[in-house]
Amino acid sequence: MGWTEGPVVVRTPATSANLGPGFDSLGLALTLYDDVEVEATGKPGVSIEVDGEGTEVADRGEQHLIVRVVRRTYDILDDLAGTGPERRPPGLRLRCRNRIPHSRGLGSSSAAIVAGIVAARELHPGGELLGDDAALRLATEIEGHPDNVAPCLAGGLTVAWTTPDGPRLVRLETKITQVTAYVPEQRLATEQARGLLPETVPHGDAAANAGRAALLVAALTGGLDTSVLLDATEDRLHQDYRAPAMPESAELVARLRAAGVPAVISGAGPTVLAFTSASRVDSIAPGVGNGWLKHPLDVATRGARVVTGESTLRS
Protein backbone atom coordinates (compact mmCIF):
# COMPACT_ATOMS: atom_id res chain seq x y z
CA MET A 1 0.00 0.00 0.00
CA GLY A 2 1.41 3.39 -1.01
CA TRP A 3 1.09 6.96 0.10
CA THR A 4 -2.33 8.56 -0.20
CA GLU A 5 -2.59 10.45 -3.47
CA GLY A 6 -4.16 13.86 -3.29
CA PRO A 7 -4.96 15.91 -0.17
CA VAL A 8 -6.79 14.82 2.94
CA VAL A 9 -8.92 17.21 4.97
CA VAL A 10 -9.11 16.88 8.73
CA ARG A 11 -11.76 18.66 10.81
CA THR A 12 -10.93 19.28 14.47
CA PRO A 13 -13.27 20.70 17.14
CA ALA A 14 -12.55 23.46 19.59
CA THR A 15 -12.25 22.31 23.18
CA SER A 16 -12.69 23.74 26.64
CA ALA A 17 -10.52 22.29 29.41
CA ASN A 18 -10.79 22.35 33.21
CA LEU A 19 -14.50 23.32 33.16
CA GLY A 20 -13.96 24.99 36.52
CA PRO A 21 -12.82 22.42 39.09
CA GLY A 22 -11.50 19.71 36.74
CA PHE A 23 -8.00 21.17 36.40
CA ASP A 24 -5.89 19.33 33.81
CA SER A 25 -8.40 16.48 33.67
CA LEU A 26 -11.82 17.45 32.29
CA GLY A 27 -12.41 18.59 28.72
CA LEU A 28 -15.33 19.23 26.41
CA ALA A 29 -15.41 19.24 22.59
CA LEU A 30 -17.36 22.11 21.02
CA THR A 31 -18.98 22.72 17.63
CA LEU A 32 -16.47 25.27 16.39
CA TYR A 33 -14.08 23.72 13.87
CA ASP A 34 -10.81 24.13 12.04
CA ASP A 35 -10.39 22.44 8.66
CA VAL A 36 -6.87 21.50 7.62
CA GLU A 37 -6.04 20.18 4.16
CA VAL A 38 -2.71 18.35 3.97
CA GLU A 39 -1.08 16.92 0.87
CA ALA A 40 2.20 15.04 0.51
CA THR A 41 3.94 16.33 -2.61
CA GLY A 42 6.90 15.26 -4.70
CA LYS A 43 8.35 18.76 -4.76
CA PRO A 44 10.63 19.53 -1.79
CA GLY A 45 9.56 22.33 0.54
CA VAL A 46 6.44 23.48 2.34
CA SER A 47 3.52 25.53 1.05
CA ILE A 48 1.08 26.97 3.60
CA GLU A 49 -2.12 28.94 3.10
CA VAL A 50 -4.14 30.14 6.09
CA ASP A 51 -7.61 31.65 6.12
CA GLY A 52 -8.91 33.04 9.41
CA GLU A 53 -7.02 32.69 12.67
CA GLY A 54 -3.27 32.21 12.55
CA THR A 55 -2.42 34.05 9.34
CA GLU A 56 0.54 35.62 11.16
CA VAL A 57 2.29 32.22 11.33
CA ALA A 58 1.58 31.12 7.76
CA ASP A 59 5.17 31.83 6.71
CA ARG A 60 6.89 29.61 9.27
CA GLY A 61 7.49 26.77 6.85
CA GLU A 62 9.01 23.74 8.57
CA GLN A 63 8.54 25.46 11.94
CA HIS A 64 4.76 25.67 11.56
CA LEU A 65 3.14 23.58 14.29
CA ILE A 66 1.13 21.36 11.96
CA VAL A 67 4.15 20.73 9.73
CA ARG A 68 6.28 19.77 12.73
CA VAL A 69 3.57 17.40 13.98
CA VAL A 70 3.16 15.76 10.57
CA ARG A 71 6.93 15.24 10.28
CA ARG A 72 7.15 13.80 13.80
CA THR A 73 4.24 11.44 13.14
CA TYR A 74 5.91 10.34 9.90
CA ASP A 75 9.04 9.45 11.90
CA ILE A 76 7.04 7.28 14.29
CA LEU A 77 5.15 5.58 11.46
CA ASP A 78 8.40 4.94 9.57
CA ASP A 79 9.74 3.14 12.66
CA LEU A 80 6.55 1.14 13.08
CA ALA A 81 6.40 0.19 9.40
CA GLY A 82 10.12 -0.47 9.07
CA THR A 83 10.52 2.13 6.35
CA GLY A 84 12.84 5.09 6.05
CA PRO A 85 12.39 8.81 5.38
CA GLU A 86 13.96 8.36 1.94
CA ARG A 87 10.70 6.75 0.80
CA ARG A 88 8.53 9.71 1.78
CA PRO A 89 7.28 12.36 -0.62
CA PRO A 90 9.60 15.25 0.29
CA GLY A 91 7.13 18.13 0.28
CA LEU A 92 4.01 19.22 2.13
CA ARG A 93 1.17 21.50 1.17
CA LEU A 94 -1.17 22.88 3.84
CA ARG A 95 -4.38 24.83 3.50
CA CYS A 96 -5.99 25.85 6.79
CA ARG A 97 -9.36 27.39 7.46
CA ASN A 98 -9.11 28.30 11.13
CA ARG A 99 -12.23 29.27 13.06
CA ILE A 100 -11.00 28.46 16.57
CA PRO A 101 -9.64 31.65 18.19
CA HIS A 102 -5.92 31.48 18.98
CA SER A 103 -4.57 31.93 22.53
CA ARG A 104 -8.06 32.29 23.98
CA GLY A 105 -8.50 29.03 25.92
CA LEU A 106 -10.43 27.10 23.26
CA GLY A 107 -7.79 24.52 22.34
CA SER A 108 -6.42 25.96 19.10
CA SER A 109 -2.99 24.39 19.59
CA SER A 110 -4.52 21.02 20.47
CA ALA A 111 -6.64 21.22 17.32
CA ALA A 112 -3.53 21.85 15.23
CA ILE A 113 -1.61 19.02 16.88
CA VAL A 114 -4.43 16.52 16.47
CA ALA A 115 -4.99 17.62 12.85
CA GLY A 116 -1.32 16.95 12.07
CA ILE A 117 -1.40 13.49 13.64
CA VAL A 118 -4.66 12.46 11.97
CA ALA A 119 -3.52 13.78 8.57
CA ALA A 120 -0.14 12.02 8.78
CA ARG A 121 -1.86 8.79 9.78
CA GLU A 122 -4.16 9.09 6.77
CA LEU A 123 -1.36 9.93 4.32
CA HIS A 124 1.28 7.43 5.44
CA PRO A 125 0.99 3.85 4.09
CA GLY A 126 1.55 2.53 7.62
CA GLY A 127 -0.97 4.86 9.22
CA GLU A 128 -3.10 2.12 10.74
CA LEU A 129 -0.11 1.08 12.86
CA LEU A 130 -0.56 4.19 15.04
CA GLY A 131 -3.58 3.34 17.17
CA ASP A 132 -5.78 5.74 19.12
CA ASP A 133 -3.89 5.22 22.39
CA ALA A 134 -0.60 5.98 20.64
CA ALA A 135 -2.14 9.06 19.00
CA LEU A 136 -3.25 10.33 22.41
CA ARG A 137 0.22 9.70 23.82
CA LEU A 138 1.90 11.56 20.97
CA ALA A 139 -0.53 14.49 21.12
CA THR A 140 -0.03 14.76 24.88
CA GLU A 141 3.77 14.70 24.54
CA ILE A 142 3.60 17.59 22.09
CA GLU A 143 0.95 19.62 23.94
CA GLY A 144 2.28 18.91 27.43
CA HIS A 145 -0.97 17.77 29.04
CA PRO A 146 -3.97 15.71 27.87
CA ASP A 147 -6.99 17.78 28.91
CA ASN A 148 -7.53 19.49 25.51
CA VAL A 149 -6.20 16.84 23.15
CA ALA A 150 -8.45 14.16 24.70
CA PRO A 151 -11.80 15.76 23.73
CA CYS A 152 -10.34 16.91 20.41
CA LEU A 153 -9.58 13.27 19.56
CA ALA A 154 -12.63 11.62 21.11
CA GLY A 155 -15.38 14.24 21.11
CA GLY A 156 -17.92 14.77 23.89
CA LEU A 157 -16.90 15.09 27.53
CA THR A 158 -13.62 13.46 28.46
CA VAL A 159 -11.79 12.67 31.67
CA ALA A 160 -8.04 12.38 31.07
CA TRP A 161 -5.29 11.24 33.41
CA THR A 162 -1.68 10.14 33.20
CA THR A 163 -0.23 6.79 34.24
CA PRO A 164 3.38 5.53 34.20
CA ASP A 165 2.51 4.00 30.82
CA GLY A 166 1.17 7.27 29.41
CA PRO A 167 -2.06 9.25 29.22
CA ARG A 168 -5.52 7.70 29.26
CA LEU A 169 -9.00 9.03 28.57
CA VAL A 170 -12.62 8.11 29.17
CA ARG A 171 -15.27 9.58 26.90
CA LEU A 172 -18.67 10.33 28.44
CA GLU A 173 -22.04 11.33 27.00
CA THR A 174 -23.35 14.63 28.30
CA LYS A 175 -26.83 15.69 29.33
CA ILE A 176 -25.84 19.31 28.70
CA THR A 177 -25.76 20.02 24.97
CA GLN A 178 -25.66 23.82 24.75
CA VAL A 179 -22.94 26.16 25.99
CA THR A 180 -21.98 29.75 25.23
CA ALA A 181 -18.41 30.95 24.78
CA TYR A 182 -17.62 34.64 25.37
CA VAL A 183 -14.38 35.43 23.56
CA PRO A 184 -12.48 38.68 24.23
CA GLU A 185 -10.01 40.34 21.90
CA GLN A 186 -7.29 39.85 24.50
CA ARG A 187 -4.96 36.87 24.00
CA LEU A 188 -3.24 34.97 26.75
CA ALA A 189 -0.54 32.35 26.27
CA THR A 190 -1.09 29.13 28.20
CA GLU A 191 2.48 29.30 29.49
CA GLN A 192 1.83 32.74 30.97
CA ALA A 193 -1.36 31.57 32.66
CA ARG A 194 0.36 28.48 34.09
CA GLY A 195 3.15 30.65 35.42
CA LEU A 196 0.69 32.36 37.77
CA LEU A 197 -0.20 29.15 39.59
CA PRO A 198 1.37 28.46 43.01
CA GLU A 199 3.41 25.30 43.59
CA THR A 200 1.17 24.31 46.52
CA VAL A 201 -2.44 25.00 47.50
CA PRO A 202 -4.30 24.64 50.81
CA HIS A 203 -5.56 21.13 51.54
CA GLY A 204 -9.09 22.47 51.97
CA ASP A 205 -9.06 23.97 48.46
CA ALA A 206 -7.82 20.71 46.95
CA ALA A 207 -10.51 18.74 48.78
CA ALA A 208 -13.19 21.18 47.67
CA ASN A 209 -12.14 20.89 44.03
CA ALA A 210 -12.08 17.09 44.16
CA GLY A 211 -15.66 17.09 45.37
CA ARG A 212 -16.80 19.70 42.86
CA ALA A 213 -15.14 17.86 39.96
CA ALA A 214 -16.95 14.65 40.89
CA LEU A 215 -20.21 16.56 41.21
CA LEU A 216 -19.64 18.22 37.82
CA VAL A 217 -19.16 14.89 36.03
CA ALA A 218 -22.36 13.59 37.63
CA ALA A 219 -24.29 16.72 36.62
CA LEU A 220 -22.99 16.83 33.04
CA THR A 221 -23.68 13.14 32.40
CA GLY A 222 -27.23 13.24 33.72
CA GLY A 223 -26.73 11.70 37.12
CA LEU A 224 -28.04 14.81 38.89
CA ASP A 225 -30.39 17.66 38.13
CA THR A 226 -28.58 20.36 36.16
CA SER A 227 -29.56 22.94 38.79
CA VAL A 228 -26.48 21.83 40.74
CA LEU A 229 -24.19 23.10 37.97
CA LEU A 230 -23.58 26.41 39.71
CA ASP A 231 -22.12 24.60 42.72
CA ALA A 232 -20.45 21.98 40.54
CA THR A 233 -18.47 24.56 38.55
CA GLU A 234 -16.95 26.26 41.60
CA ASP A 235 -13.15 26.31 41.47
CA ARG A 236 -10.44 27.13 44.02
CA LEU A 237 -7.31 25.83 42.28
CA HIS A 238 -6.58 28.05 39.31
CA GLN A 239 -9.08 30.74 38.32
CA ASP A 240 -8.47 33.18 41.18
CA TYR A 241 -4.69 32.88 40.77
CA ARG A 242 -4.97 33.69 37.07
CA ALA A 243 -7.43 36.56 37.50
CA PRO A 244 -4.76 39.32 37.50
CA ALA A 245 -3.81 38.35 33.93
CA MET A 246 -7.44 38.51 32.75
CA PRO A 247 -9.41 40.87 35.03
CA GLU A 248 -12.23 41.40 32.51
CA SER A 249 -12.76 37.64 32.20
CA ALA A 250 -12.73 37.17 35.96
CA GLU A 251 -15.24 39.98 36.34
CA LEU A 252 -17.53 38.48 33.67
CA VAL A 253 -17.43 35.07 35.37
CA ALA A 254 -18.36 36.75 38.67
CA ARG A 255 -21.24 38.67 37.07
CA LEU A 256 -22.63 35.59 35.34
CA ARG A 257 -22.41 33.45 38.46
CA ALA A 258 -24.06 36.18 40.54
CA ALA A 259 -26.94 36.00 38.05
CA GLY A 260 -27.18 32.23 38.55
CA VAL A 261 -25.36 31.22 35.36
CA PRO A 262 -22.75 28.42 35.75
CA ALA A 263 -19.74 30.12 34.19
CA VAL A 264 -16.02 29.32 34.21
CA ILE A 265 -12.78 30.34 32.57
CA SER A 266 -12.29 28.16 29.50
CA GLY A 267 -8.95 26.38 29.75
CA ALA A 268 -6.20 28.84 30.57
CA GLY A 269 -8.46 31.72 29.44
CA PRO A 270 -9.34 34.37 28.73
CA THR A 271 -12.53 33.00 27.09
CA VAL A 272 -15.48 32.56 29.45
CA LEU A 273 -17.68 29.48 29.08
CA ALA A 274 -21.30 29.48 30.31
CA PHE A 275 -23.12 26.17 30.70
CA THR A 276 -26.34 27.36 29.13
CA SER A 277 -27.71 28.80 25.90
CA ALA A 278 -26.95 32.35 24.83
CA SER A 279 -30.66 33.22 24.88
CA ARG A 280 -30.94 32.15 28.53
CA VAL A 281 -27.93 34.26 29.47
CA ASP A 282 -29.50 37.22 27.70
CA SER A 283 -32.81 36.72 29.52
CA ILE A 284 -31.19 36.32 32.95
CA ALA A 285 -28.54 39.00 32.61
CA PRO A 286 -29.18 41.20 29.56
CA GLY A 287 -26.09 43.01 28.38
CA VAL A 288 -23.75 41.03 30.61
CA GLY A 289 -21.64 39.95 27.64
CA ASN A 290 -21.53 43.25 25.80
CA GLY A 291 -18.15 43.84 24.19
CA TRP A 292 -17.43 40.13 23.81
CA LEU A 293 -17.69 37.90 20.74
CA LYS A 294 -20.49 35.52 21.66
CA HIS A 295 -20.44 31.95 20.29
CA PRO A 296 -23.57 29.85 20.99
CA LEU A 297 -22.25 26.29 20.67
CA ASP A 298 -23.25 22.68 21.13
CA VAL A 299 -21.18 19.87 22.56
CA ALA A 300 -19.41 18.18 19.64
CA THR A 301 -20.24 14.48 19.80
CA ARG A 302 -17.43 13.58 17.38
CA GLY A 303 -13.75 14.32 17.65
CA ALA A 304 -11.23 14.90 14.90
CA ARG A 305 -12.05 13.14 11.64
CA VAL A 306 -11.13 13.01 8.00
CA VAL A 307 -13.75 14.87 5.98
CA THR A 308 -12.27 14.84 2.47
CA GLY A 309 -15.16 15.62 0.16
CA GLU A 310 -17.06 17.49 2.89
CA SER A 311 -14.62 20.32 3.56
CA THR A 312 -15.69 23.96 3.51
CA LEU A 313 -12.18 24.99 2.49
CA ARG A 314 -13.34 25.82 -1.01
CA SER A 315 -16.63 27.45 -0.06
Buried b (16+ CB within 10 A) or exposed e, 206-235: eebbeebbebbbebbeeebeeeebbebbbb
Cα 255 from Cα 115, distance rounded (Å): 36
Q: Is 277 annotated as a binding residue?
A: no
Q: Is 244 annotated as a binding residue?
A: no
Q: Is 21 annotated as a binding residue?
A: no
Q: Is 107 annotated as a binding residue?
A: yes
Q: Is 249 annotated as a binding residue?
A: no
Q: Is 25 annotated as a binding residue?
A: no
Tell me if 304 sits within 8 A of 112, measured CB to CB: no
Q: Name the pairing type of β-strands 91-98 and 22-41.
A: antiparallel
5 Cβ partners below 8 Å, 6+ apart? none
Q: Is 102 annotated as a binding residue?
A: yes
Tell me if 294 sits within 8 A of 280, measured CB to CB: no
Q: Is 111 annotated as a binding residue?
A: yes
Report the SS3 class of residue 231: helix
Tell me if 232 sits within 8 A of 18, measured CB to CB: no
Q: Is 110 annotated as a binding residue?
A: yes
Provide the annotated binding site for ATP. 101-111
Provide the annotated binding site. 101-111
